[in-house]
Chains A and B, each alone.
Chain A
Amino acid sequence: MPTVTIDNVRVEVPAGTTILDAAKQAGVKVPTLCYLKDVQAIGACRVCLVEVQGARTLVASCVTPVADGMVVHTNTKRARGARRTVVELLLSDHQGDCQTCERNDDCELQALARDLGINDITYVGAKSTRYVDDSTPALIRDTGKCVLCRRCVTVCGEVQGVGGIFPQNRGFATVVGPAFDLNLHDIVCVQCGQCAAVCPVGAITERDHIQDVWEALDDPTKTVVVQTAPAIRAALGECFGYPPGTLVTGKMVSALRRIGFDAVFDTNFAADLTILEEGTELLTRLKNALVDGKPVALPMFTSCSPGWIKFIEYFYPDMLANVSTCKSPQQMFGAIAKTYYAEKIGKKPEDMIVVSVMPCTAKKFEAQRPEMNASGVQDVDYVLTTRELGRMIKQAGIDFDRLPDDTMDSPIGMSSGAADIFANTGGVMEAALRTVYEIVTGKPFPFEDLHVKPIAGLEGIKEAAVTIEETTPEWAFLKGVTVRTAVAHGLGNARQLIERVREGLSTYHFIEIMTCPGGCIGGGGQPRFTTNETRLARIQAIYKEDEGKTLRKSHENPEIKHIYEEFLGKPNSKKSHELLHTHYHERAKV
């Protein structure tokens, strides 16, 4: 292994290690900007320049591998001066007002300027043309704040396989954006917000709906209820300095109550509902295929993740029949809140406001899809990301640390552990298998701790097969059938999996797709930055939440049983179809 000396500290590192990583090991912090662990190392910004003894020029430490005997100085006059010049030049063309920027106090450029001690910008001159793209309900793109680091380009093109944005033009006229000055609304953008999640500055952010929610809360004629997605409870704490993977479910409920919501409910309830609806849909498709010999679209894809839905509408519209017709849990909740719950409390749908807290920016888009108005009005009015809820709690002056634990309200707040794991990759599939297996066999789900290990974890594409050995009489046609499932997270992986299916290389019955790497716990609306370690910590927290419950299977949730008895009839009933199912449509790829 090569030995290198960095600022007089000798370290031994594996061959191929970059100077940046070796420096970290030596306890030396080299500043970076375009570099992002697990995502991008391209040496574009030149902030991480260091001096290598014997080298003619300074080198970008994020892309330069060490060599045995290399002597590196990170803190020479020359290196400091070069970095300072780079950052000053960026600042000289940066059109941000820090105090009013969403990234105030959470901005890498601001932090760099502070750490490098820049208190004057010596370069004055022309500024790039600023353009604010607010064409989508989910994201705002401000070219005046962009530092051209290309993290968003890498995430959009390589991780998500979408390729909506790319550097356009050349030199001083360069902007990162869609083709030919188009807006995000006009292109294949799925509004997943992974770009916003990796942006070092305020150039791409979620569209902030906090003010709308405050106004709704201040309106005495409205009943305002809130639902929180399972992934929030494992990440919200990060907005208040807790380490990733801290469960804050109880504090979150308290905070929402103090903010002033009339009722605090759980998207998890709707996740359990989804399992009943989607599980039944899968069994119906299998029955149609195996018993009746009808042409049926298989494999069936999950439909919880709105970025994925928009992705398949753009890129594989010929497979839309394969997507479950189930609405996502967010939209099922909205429809139920404005019908079933509204009736219970004697309110009209138009007098109710449903707010969601989601780890996701695409949920903002989903909420305003024209077909999402089963109650007669828009079912979900406003969607806040985890980050927005964090800001709202701060705006309300709530001391998060000192909040007591509280619990969700009834009758649409109870949920099983199966609903919790909707938050991470493999979770929806596991939740579905827990229920479908028990419905079909009448026997307890035979996996240790109820976990289907092969589909857990961060591998991009995962598979599991479950053989049904015995069945209840109703499902006798499934006796001996091996149900084959696959799971992909990150749309780039989803694309690979779909290509495999299309080429006939793999056959499955049921496929779970989540738009973001790691699943919803790694969503575009989660606290920054989500590294693989963060993902694993949040996933662990979610499993802990699941394992801590006595109720761990969706079909055993008493509130779910009750809503079917009292309101919906049975899964996939006419009423279910009206309220809980939807349809999709093709979108042009270019």
Chain B
Amino acid sequence: MNDKACGCTCAEEASEEELLARLDDVIADYKDKPGALIPVLQMAQAIFGYLPESALKKISLGLGKPYSEVAGVVGFYSFFSTQPRGKHMVRVCLGTACYVRGGKNVLEALKDKLGVDVGGTTEDRQFSLEVARCFGACGLAPAIMIDDQVYQRVKPTRVQAILDQYRNAEAAAR
């Protein structure tokens, strides 16, 4: 598995200070440009894997935008997350086809195996769980997606094996 697929650029390896220093560079680039807030938030999320409070406060001060406005924009777009995301993003389709073919049961199994609710992240920061609407795989419903890999005709009993692939790849990499 490609480690980068999680969308984070290796948050584990760099210290928070180093990441904040990278954010400083981004802010310096965008400081006086109109409409800078959303691109800076996107880049900050790429740097940290999510949007921690320290980053949001830095963005507010750096761009001279009220903290309330920064929070308002973060809260408006579902793309932004203020919670740490796992290394792997698990998305369960609950579009019409997947829903009627048991997507909900797959979701329940994932919740059970991961021990988190929708929107949550496992304690080892390996997996985050989200619900999605349609990957265009309706013919092979129910579908789930882990990072950019789609799994089709998933049954609740298959969930453990799928997750194990990622856990084993992780162990092998160590």
Which residues of A are interface residues toward B (Cβ below 8 A)? Answer: 157, 162-170, 177-180, 187-188, 589-590
| 6 nearest CB pairs, A to B | A163-B66, A179-B71, A166-B68, A166-B72, A590-B67, A590-B57
Residue of B whose beta carbon sits closest to that of A153: B68
In the complex, the answer to whether A164 meets B66 with C-beta atoms within 8 Å is yes
User: Does any Cβ of A come within 8 Å of B150's Cβ?
Assistant: no
A166 / chain B contacts, CB cutoff of 8 Å: 66, 68-69, 71-72
Minimal beta-carbon separation of A135 from chain B (angstroms): 15
In the complex, the answer to whether A180 meets B76 with C-beta atoms within 8 Å is no
In the complex, the answer to whether B71 meets A589 with C-beta atoms within 8 Å is no
Q: List 7 A-B contacts (CB under 8 A).
A: A163-B66, A166-B66, A167-B72, A179-B68, A179-B72, A180-B71, A180-B82
Can you list, as one digit per residue, whether each of B63-106 has a CB less than 8 Å from chain A (1) or not (0)?
A: 00111111110011000001000000000000000000000000
Contact of B60 among A157, A165, A178, A590 (CB under 8 A): A590
In the complex, the answer to whether B76 meets A170 with C-beta atoms within 8 Å is yes
Contact of A168 among B57, B65, B72 (CB under 8 A): B72
B61 / chain A contacts, CB cutoff of 8 Å: 589-590
In the complex, the answer to whether A179 meets B70 with C-beta atoms within 8 Å is yes
Residue of B whose beta carbon sits closest to that of A170: B76
In the complex, the answer to whether A179 meets B76 with C-beta atoms within 8 Å is no
How many residue pairs, one in A and one in B, have C-beta atoms under 8 Å apart? 48
Minimal beta-carbon separation of B70 from chain A (angstroms): 7
Residue of A whose beta carbon sits closest to that of B65: A163
B65 / chain A contacts, CB cutoff of 8 Å: 163
Residue of B whose beta carbon sits closest to that of A164: B68
Minimal beta-carbon separation of A585 from chain B (angstroms): 19
B71 / chain A contacts, CB cutoff of 8 Å: 166, 168, 178-180
- B residues 89-126 with Cβ under 8 Å of A? none
Residue of B whose beta carbon sits closest to that of A163: B66
Minimal beta-carbon separation of B100 from chain A (angstroms): 26
Minimal beta-carbon separation of A583 from chain B (angstroms): 25
Can you list, as one digit per residue, whether each of B49-67 has a CB less than 8 Å from chain A (1) or not (0)?
A: 0000000110011000111
The CA of A179 and the CA of B59, in the complex, are separated in Å by 13
The CA of A170 and the CA of B61, in the complex, are separated in Å by 24
Residue of A whose beta carbon sits closest to that of B60: A590
Residue of A whose beta carbon sits closest to that of B59: A590
In the complex, the answer to whether A157 meets B75 with C-beta atoms within 8 Å is no
Residue of A whose beta carbon sits closest to that of B64: A163
The CA of A162 and the CA of B69, in the complex, are separated in Å by 11
A164 / chain B contacts, CB cutoff of 8 Å: 66, 68
Most chain A CB neighbours (cut-off 10 Å) among B70, B75, B82: B75
The CA of A179 and the CA of B71, in the complex, are separated in Å by 5
The CA of A168 and the CA of B73, in the complex, are separated in Å by 8
The CA of A157 and the CA of B69, in the complex, are separated in Å by 9
Minimal beta-carbon separation of B78 from chain A (angstroms): 8
The CA of A188 and the CA of B66, in the complex, are separated in Å by 9
The CA of A169 and the CA of B69, in the complex, are separated in Å by 11
B68 / chain A contacts, CB cutoff of 8 Å: 163-166, 168, 177-179, 187
